[in-house]
Amino acid sequence: MVVLSHQAALNQFFLIKPCKPTTTTLSTQIPEVNLFDPEAKTLIVKACQEVGFFKLVNHGVPMEYMTNLENEAHRFFKKPQSEKDRTGPPDPFGYGSKRIGSNGDVGWVEYLLITTNPDVISSNSHFIFQQNPQNFRYAVEGYIGAVKRMCYEVLELMADGLGIKQRNVFSRLVKDKKSDSCFRLNHYPPCPEVQALNRGNLVGFGEHTDPQIISVLRSNTTSGLQIYLRDGSWVSVPPDHTSFFINVGDTLQVMTNGRFKSVKHRVLADTTKSRLSMIYFGGPPLSEKIAPLPSLMSTQEESLYKDFTWCEYKKAAYNSRLGDNRLQPFEKSSG
Ligand code: GA4
Protein backbone atom coordinates (compact mmCIF):
# COMPACT_ATOMS: atom_id res chain seq x y z
CA MET A 1 0.00 0.00 0.00
CA VAL A 2 1.29 3.51 -0.81
CA VAL A 3 2.40 5.81 1.99
CA LEU A 4 -0.16 8.61 1.83
CA SER A 5 0.45 12.32 2.27
CA HIS A 6 -1.66 13.95 4.95
CA GLN A 7 -4.06 15.35 2.35
CA ALA A 8 -4.31 12.07 0.47
CA ALA A 9 -4.91 10.28 3.75
CA LEU A 10 -7.73 12.69 4.47
CA ASN A 11 -9.25 12.01 1.09
CA GLN A 12 -9.08 8.33 1.76
CA PHE A 13 -10.55 8.93 5.17
CA PHE A 14 -13.61 10.49 3.61
CA LEU A 15 -13.97 7.55 1.30
CA ILE A 16 -14.22 5.11 4.14
CA LYS A 17 -17.22 5.36 6.39
CA PRO A 18 -16.53 5.29 10.13
CA CYS A 19 -18.62 2.81 12.05
CA LYS A 20 -20.42 2.99 15.36
CA PRO A 21 -18.45 2.17 18.54
CA THR A 22 -18.52 -1.49 19.40
CA THR A 23 -19.03 -3.76 22.35
CA THR A 24 -16.00 -4.84 24.33
CA THR A 25 -14.36 -8.21 23.74
CA LEU A 26 -16.29 -11.02 25.32
CA SER A 27 -14.37 -14.10 24.30
CA THR A 28 -16.81 -16.29 26.21
CA GLN A 29 -19.40 -15.45 23.55
CA ILE A 30 -17.27 -16.96 20.79
CA PRO A 31 -18.05 -20.68 20.63
CA GLU A 32 -14.96 -22.88 20.58
CA VAL A 33 -14.76 -26.41 19.19
CA ASN A 34 -11.97 -28.94 19.51
CA LEU A 35 -12.07 -30.96 16.27
CA PHE A 36 -11.15 -34.15 18.11
CA ASP A 37 -13.69 -33.76 20.89
CA PRO A 38 -16.26 -36.61 20.71
CA GLU A 39 -18.89 -33.89 21.18
CA ALA A 40 -17.54 -31.80 18.27
CA LYS A 41 -20.47 -32.40 15.92
CA THR A 42 -23.01 -31.31 18.55
CA LEU A 43 -21.01 -28.21 19.46
CA ILE A 44 -20.53 -27.28 15.80
CA VAL A 45 -24.27 -27.51 15.08
CA LYS A 46 -25.08 -25.46 18.17
CA ALA A 47 -22.58 -22.74 17.18
CA CYS A 48 -23.83 -22.64 13.57
CA GLN A 49 -27.43 -22.32 14.75
CA GLU A 50 -26.83 -19.72 17.41
CA VAL A 51 -24.00 -17.61 16.00
CA GLY A 52 -23.03 -18.87 12.54
CA PHE A 53 -19.43 -18.74 13.68
CA PHE A 54 -16.97 -20.66 15.85
CA LYS A 55 -13.32 -20.97 16.70
CA LEU A 56 -11.74 -24.29 15.77
CA VAL A 57 -8.88 -25.56 17.93
CA ASN A 58 -6.86 -28.76 17.78
CA HIS A 59 -7.61 -28.85 14.07
CA GLY A 60 -4.67 -30.95 12.95
CA VAL A 61 -3.32 -28.49 10.36
CA PRO A 62 0.44 -28.17 10.96
CA MET A 63 1.48 -24.64 11.96
CA GLU A 64 4.19 -24.54 9.30
CA TYR A 65 1.57 -24.15 6.55
CA MET A 66 0.32 -21.00 8.26
CA THR A 67 3.72 -19.48 8.98
CA ASN A 68 5.06 -20.26 5.50
CA LEU A 69 2.15 -18.50 3.88
CA GLU A 70 2.24 -15.62 6.34
CA ASN A 71 5.91 -15.01 5.47
CA GLU A 72 5.23 -15.18 1.74
CA ALA A 73 2.24 -12.87 2.06
CA HIS A 74 4.27 -10.28 3.96
CA ARG A 75 6.92 -10.50 1.25
CA PHE A 76 4.26 -9.83 -1.38
CA PHE A 77 2.57 -6.91 0.40
CA LYS A 78 5.95 -5.26 1.08
CA LYS A 79 6.60 -4.95 -2.67
CA PRO A 80 6.45 -1.52 -4.37
CA GLN A 81 2.91 -0.46 -5.21
CA SER A 82 3.59 -0.47 -8.96
CA GLU A 83 4.67 -4.10 -8.81
CA LYS A 84 1.60 -5.16 -6.83
CA ASP A 85 -0.67 -3.23 -9.19
CA ARG A 86 0.65 -5.32 -12.05
CA THR A 87 -1.32 -8.29 -10.66
CA GLY A 88 -4.53 -6.26 -10.49
CA PRO A 89 -7.19 -5.05 -10.71
CA PRO A 90 -9.21 -7.91 -9.22
CA ASP A 91 -11.73 -8.90 -11.88
CA PRO A 92 -12.64 -10.67 -9.63
CA PHE A 93 -9.23 -12.33 -9.11
CA GLY A 94 -5.98 -10.48 -8.63
CA TYR A 95 -4.52 -7.76 -6.42
CA GLY A 96 -6.80 -5.04 -5.07
CA SER A 97 -6.24 -2.04 -2.88
CA LYS A 98 -9.00 -0.23 -0.95
CA ARG A 99 -11.70 -1.02 -3.51
CA ILE A 100 -13.78 -4.07 -2.65
CA GLY A 101 -15.96 -5.57 -5.37
CA SER A 102 -17.04 -3.33 -8.23
CA ASN A 103 -19.94 -1.39 -6.77
CA GLY A 104 -18.22 1.34 -4.80
CA ASP A 105 -17.27 -0.38 -1.53
CA VAL A 106 -13.97 0.65 0.00
CA GLY A 107 -11.93 -0.37 3.02
CA TRP A 108 -8.51 0.14 4.59
CA VAL A 109 -7.23 -3.07 3.09
CA GLU A 110 -5.15 -4.49 0.28
CA TYR A 111 -5.65 -8.05 -0.85
CA LEU A 112 -5.03 -10.87 -3.25
CA LEU A 113 -7.98 -12.89 -4.50
CA ILE A 114 -7.16 -16.25 -6.03
CA THR A 115 -9.39 -18.95 -7.52
CA THR A 116 -8.76 -22.43 -6.15
CA ASN A 117 -10.21 -24.03 -9.26
CA PRO A 118 -7.39 -24.90 -11.70
CA ASP A 119 -9.94 -25.06 -14.56
CA VAL A 120 -10.70 -21.36 -14.36
CA ILE A 121 -8.75 -19.80 -17.18
CA SER A 122 -8.23 -16.13 -18.03
CA SER A 123 -7.97 -15.19 -14.40
CA ASN A 124 -5.28 -13.10 -12.79
CA SER A 125 -4.59 -16.01 -10.43
CA HIS A 126 -2.13 -17.58 -12.91
CA PHE A 127 -0.46 -14.24 -13.42
CA ILE A 128 -0.04 -13.79 -9.65
CA PHE A 129 1.87 -17.07 -9.54
CA GLN A 130 3.97 -16.21 -12.60
CA GLN A 131 4.92 -12.85 -11.10
CA ASN A 132 6.05 -14.27 -7.78
CA PRO A 133 8.78 -16.69 -6.70
CA GLN A 134 7.81 -20.38 -6.80
CA ASN A 135 7.81 -20.39 -2.99
CA PHE A 136 4.75 -18.17 -3.01
CA ARG A 137 2.81 -20.66 -5.11
CA TYR A 138 3.98 -23.60 -2.96
CA ALA A 139 2.96 -21.76 0.20
CA VAL A 140 -0.52 -20.92 -1.16
CA GLU A 141 -1.13 -24.40 -2.57
CA GLY A 142 0.22 -26.17 0.50
CA TYR A 143 -1.93 -24.08 2.81
CA ILE A 144 -5.11 -24.47 0.74
CA GLY A 145 -4.57 -28.24 0.42
CA ALA A 146 -4.24 -28.66 4.19
CA VAL A 147 -7.15 -26.34 5.01
CA LYS A 148 -9.44 -28.06 2.50
CA ARG A 149 -8.91 -31.46 4.14
CA MET A 150 -9.78 -30.00 7.52
CA CYS A 151 -12.75 -28.17 6.02
CA TYR A 152 -14.19 -31.43 4.58
CA GLU A 153 -14.07 -32.92 8.05
CA VAL A 154 -15.88 -29.91 9.54
CA LEU A 155 -18.58 -30.08 6.85
CA GLU A 156 -19.04 -33.80 7.49
CA LEU A 157 -19.38 -33.21 11.22
CA MET A 158 -22.04 -30.59 10.42
CA ALA A 159 -24.04 -33.13 8.40
CA ASP A 160 -23.57 -35.77 11.07
CA GLY A 161 -24.56 -33.37 13.82
CA LEU A 162 -27.71 -32.45 11.92
CA GLY A 163 -28.60 -36.15 11.79
CA ILE A 164 -28.18 -36.43 8.01
CA LYS A 165 -27.28 -39.99 6.92
CA GLN A 166 -25.31 -38.86 3.88
CA ARG A 167 -22.28 -37.50 5.68
CA ASN A 168 -20.89 -35.84 2.55
CA VAL A 169 -23.96 -33.75 1.55
CA PHE A 170 -22.02 -30.54 2.11
CA SER A 171 -18.42 -31.68 1.68
CA ARG A 172 -19.05 -33.24 -1.75
CA LEU A 173 -19.87 -29.78 -3.13
CA VAL A 174 -16.61 -28.29 -1.98
CA LYS A 175 -14.67 -31.45 -2.96
CA ASP A 176 -16.13 -31.40 -6.48
CA LYS A 177 -13.61 -30.76 -9.27
CA LYS A 178 -15.84 -27.94 -10.42
CA SER A 179 -16.26 -26.43 -6.94
CA ASP A 180 -16.32 -22.66 -7.26
CA SER A 181 -14.12 -21.92 -4.27
CA CYS A 182 -11.67 -19.10 -3.79
CA PHE A 183 -9.03 -17.83 -1.45
CA ARG A 184 -8.05 -14.39 -0.26
CA LEU A 185 -5.11 -12.85 1.55
CA ASN A 186 -6.08 -9.62 3.29
CA HIS A 187 -3.52 -7.13 4.55
CA TYR A 188 -4.78 -4.33 6.79
CA PRO A 189 -1.94 -1.84 7.19
CA PRO A 190 -1.78 0.12 10.43
CA CYS A 191 -3.13 3.62 10.07
CA PRO A 192 -2.30 5.91 13.02
CA GLU A 193 -2.99 9.16 11.15
CA VAL A 194 -6.39 8.40 9.71
CA GLN A 195 -7.37 6.40 12.73
CA ALA A 196 -6.77 9.37 15.04
CA LEU A 197 -9.04 11.55 12.92
CA ASN A 198 -11.65 8.88 12.83
CA ARG A 199 -12.01 8.29 16.58
CA GLY A 200 -10.55 4.83 16.25
CA ASN A 201 -13.13 3.27 13.98
CA LEU A 202 -11.64 2.91 10.57
CA VAL A 203 -13.28 0.18 8.55
CA GLY A 204 -10.86 -2.32 7.05
CA PHE A 205 -13.55 -4.52 5.52
CA GLY A 206 -17.17 -3.47 5.91
CA GLU A 207 -19.93 -5.62 7.36
CA HIS A 208 -21.15 -8.45 5.17
CA THR A 209 -22.01 -12.11 5.06
CA ASP A 210 -20.09 -14.53 2.83
CA PRO A 211 -22.11 -15.90 -0.10
CA GLN A 212 -20.46 -19.37 -0.20
CA ILE A 213 -21.07 -22.49 1.92
CA ILE A 214 -18.26 -22.05 4.42
CA SER A 215 -15.35 -19.72 5.08
CA VAL A 216 -12.23 -20.73 6.99
CA LEU A 217 -10.20 -17.84 8.35
CA ARG A 218 -6.80 -17.67 9.96
CA SER A 219 -5.15 -14.43 11.00
CA ASN A 220 -1.96 -13.21 12.60
CA THR A 221 -1.98 -11.88 16.17
CA THR A 222 -3.57 -8.51 15.32
CA SER A 223 -7.19 -8.02 16.32
CA GLY A 224 -9.86 -6.42 14.12
CA LEU A 225 -12.40 -9.12 13.29
CA GLN A 226 -15.87 -8.57 14.73
CA ILE A 227 -19.01 -10.63 14.44
CA TYR A 228 -22.62 -9.57 14.77
CA LEU A 229 -24.73 -11.36 17.37
CA ARG A 230 -28.49 -11.92 17.34
CA ASP A 231 -28.91 -9.43 20.19
CA GLY A 232 -27.70 -6.68 17.86
CA SER A 233 -24.21 -6.28 19.31
CA TRP A 234 -20.84 -6.42 17.58
CA VAL A 235 -18.30 -8.58 19.37
CA SER A 236 -14.55 -8.41 18.84
CA VAL A 237 -13.01 -11.79 18.16
CA PRO A 238 -9.70 -12.13 20.05
CA PRO A 239 -7.09 -13.16 17.45
CA ASP A 240 -5.46 -16.56 17.76
CA HIS A 241 -2.86 -17.34 15.11
CA THR A 242 -2.87 -21.03 16.04
CA SER A 243 -6.59 -21.55 15.39
CA PHE A 244 -9.12 -21.22 12.61
CA PHE A 245 -12.39 -19.33 12.61
CA ILE A 246 -15.29 -20.86 10.71
CA ASN A 247 -18.10 -18.77 9.18
CA VAL A 248 -21.42 -20.12 7.95
CA GLY A 249 -22.05 -18.73 4.44
CA ASP A 250 -25.39 -17.79 2.83
CA THR A 251 -25.48 -21.03 0.80
CA LEU A 252 -25.27 -23.15 3.94
CA GLN A 253 -28.07 -21.10 5.48
CA VAL A 254 -30.28 -21.99 2.50
CA MET A 255 -29.27 -25.68 2.43
CA THR A 256 -30.25 -25.97 6.10
CA ASN A 257 -33.47 -23.98 5.48
CA GLY A 258 -32.38 -21.31 7.93
CA ARG A 259 -31.28 -23.64 10.75
CA PHE A 260 -27.71 -22.40 10.32
CA LYS A 261 -27.29 -18.63 10.03
CA SER A 262 -24.71 -16.93 7.87
CA VAL A 263 -22.81 -14.59 10.17
CA LYS A 264 -22.44 -10.88 9.55
CA HIS A 265 -18.85 -9.82 10.20
CA ARG A 266 -16.45 -6.96 9.55
CA VAL A 267 -12.85 -5.94 10.20
CA LEU A 268 -11.64 -2.71 11.81
CA ALA A 269 -8.12 -1.50 11.04
CA ASP A 270 -5.58 -1.16 13.85
CA THR A 271 -3.65 2.00 14.69
CA THR A 272 -0.26 0.43 15.16
CA LYS A 273 -0.18 -3.18 13.96
CA SER A 274 -0.79 -4.68 10.57
CA ARG A 275 -3.32 -7.46 10.35
CA LEU A 276 -2.92 -10.33 7.91
CA SER A 277 -5.66 -12.85 7.31
CA MET A 278 -6.03 -15.79 4.96
CA ILE A 279 -9.50 -17.01 4.10
CA TYR A 280 -10.63 -20.05 2.17
CA PHE A 281 -14.19 -19.77 0.80
CA GLY A 282 -15.69 -23.17 -0.01
CA GLY A 283 -18.33 -22.89 -2.71
CA PRO A 284 -20.38 -25.35 -4.80
CA PRO A 285 -20.07 -25.88 -8.58
CA LEU A 286 -21.67 -23.06 -10.59
CA SER A 287 -24.48 -25.27 -11.92
CA GLU A 288 -25.46 -26.60 -8.47
CA LYS A 289 -29.08 -26.03 -7.48
CA ILE A 290 -29.11 -24.48 -4.02
CA ALA A 291 -32.09 -25.63 -1.97
CA PRO A 292 -32.83 -26.96 1.52
CA LEU A 293 -31.79 -30.60 1.89
CA PRO A 294 -34.87 -32.85 1.69
CA SER A 295 -33.28 -35.15 4.30
CA LEU A 296 -33.37 -32.29 6.77
CA MET A 297 -36.90 -31.07 6.25
CA SER A 298 -39.69 -32.19 8.52
CA THR A 299 -42.92 -33.43 6.88
CA GLN A 300 -44.82 -30.15 6.78
CA GLU A 301 -41.78 -27.95 6.36
CA GLU A 302 -41.52 -25.77 3.28
CA SER A 303 -38.48 -24.15 1.77
CA LEU A 304 -37.98 -20.57 2.89
CA TYR A 305 -36.25 -19.83 -0.40
CA LYS A 306 -36.99 -19.66 -4.11
CA ASP A 307 -35.10 -22.04 -6.41
CA PHE A 308 -31.76 -20.82 -7.65
CA THR A 309 -28.36 -22.07 -8.74
CA TRP A 310 -25.05 -21.01 -7.24
CA CYS A 311 -24.28 -19.27 -10.54
CA GLU A 312 -27.42 -17.12 -10.19
CA TYR A 313 -26.70 -16.32 -6.57
CA LYS A 314 -23.09 -15.48 -7.25
CA LYS A 315 -24.07 -13.16 -10.10
CA ALA A 316 -26.54 -11.36 -7.84
CA ALA A 317 -23.90 -11.17 -5.09
CA TYR A 318 -21.35 -9.57 -7.38
CA ASN A 319 -23.95 -6.99 -8.40
CA SER A 320 -24.65 -6.10 -4.78
CA ARG A 321 -23.03 -3.78 -2.27
CA LEU A 322 -21.02 -5.40 0.51
CA GLY A 323 -23.50 -4.68 3.30
CA ASP A 324 -26.64 -5.71 1.37
CA ASN A 325 -28.84 -8.53 2.58
CA ARG A 326 -28.12 -10.73 -0.43
CA LEU A 327 -30.44 -13.56 0.54
CA GLN A 328 -33.50 -11.41 0.93
CA PRO A 329 -34.52 -11.31 -2.78
CA PHE A 330 -34.29 -15.12 -2.77
CA GLU A 331 -36.63 -15.54 0.18
CA LYS A 332 -40.12 -16.81 -0.68
CA SER A 333 -41.69 -14.18 1.53
CA SER A 334 -40.09 -11.43 -0.59
CA GLY A 335 -42.70 -12.07 -3.33
C1 GA4 B 1 -17.47 -11.52 0.37
C2 GA4 B 1 -16.77 -12.88 0.55
C3 GA4 B 1 -15.49 -13.01 -0.30
O4 GA4 B 1 -14.45 -12.20 0.26
C5 GA4 B 1 -15.74 -12.54 -1.77
C6 GA4 B 1 -16.15 -11.07 -1.71
C7 GA4 B 1 -16.37 -10.36 -3.04
C8 GA4 B 1 -15.13 -9.56 -3.48
O9 GA4 B 1 -14.37 -9.08 -2.66
O10 GA4 B 1 -14.99 -9.41 -4.70
C11 GA4 B 1 -17.61 -9.45 -2.83
C12 GA4 B 1 -18.22 -9.88 -1.45
C13 GA4 B 1 -17.54 -11.20 -1.14
C14 GA4 B 1 -19.76 -10.02 -1.49
C15 GA4 B 1 -20.49 -8.98 -2.38
C16 GA4 B 1 -19.66 -8.51 -3.58
C17 GA4 B 1 -18.66 -9.59 -3.95
C18 GA4 B 1 -17.39 -7.95 -2.84
C19 GA4 B 1 -18.75 -7.41 -3.10
C20 GA4 B 1 -19.11 -6.17 -2.87
C21 GA4 B 1 -14.55 -12.87 -2.65
C22 GA4 B 1 -17.03 -13.13 -2.25
O23 GA4 B 1 -17.17 -14.17 -2.87
O24 GA4 B 1 -18.09 -12.31 -1.91
Q: What are the residue boundaries of the structural domains of the chain, listed by start?
A: 13-334
Taking only the tens place, the pLDDT of each residue in 220-252 is 999 999 999 989 999 999 999 999 999 999 999
User: Could you give the CA distance from residue 323 to residue 193 in angstroms, rounded to a whole number?
Assistant: 26
- Which H or E element spans position 161? helix 134-161
What is the CA(305)–ligand 1 centre distance, in A?
Answer: 21
Q: 100 in ligand 1 pocket by Cβ < 6 Å?
A: yes
Q: Please give the number of the atom of ligand 1 that sits closest to the Cα of 281.
A: 3
Taking only the tens place, the pLDDT of each residue in 137-181 is 999 999 999 999 999 999 999 999 999 999 999 999 999 999 999
Q: Read off the pLDDT band of 48 (50, 70, 90).
A: very high
Burial 93-119 (b: 16+ CB within 10 A, else e): bbbbbbbbbeeebbbbbbbbbbbbbee
Annotated active-site positions, please? 275
Which residue has the least CA distance to atom 18 on ligand 1?
Answer: 101
Which residue has the least CA distance to atom 13 on ligand 1?
Answer: 210
What is the CA(101)–ligand 1 centre distance, in A?
Answer: 6
Q: Which of 123, 320, 321, 328 to mutate to test the pocket of ligand 1 (most atoms within 8 A of CB)?
A: 320
Looking at domain 13-334, its CATH architecture is Sandwich (2.60)
Contact 249, 209 (CB under 8 A): yes
Q: pTM for this one? A: 0.94
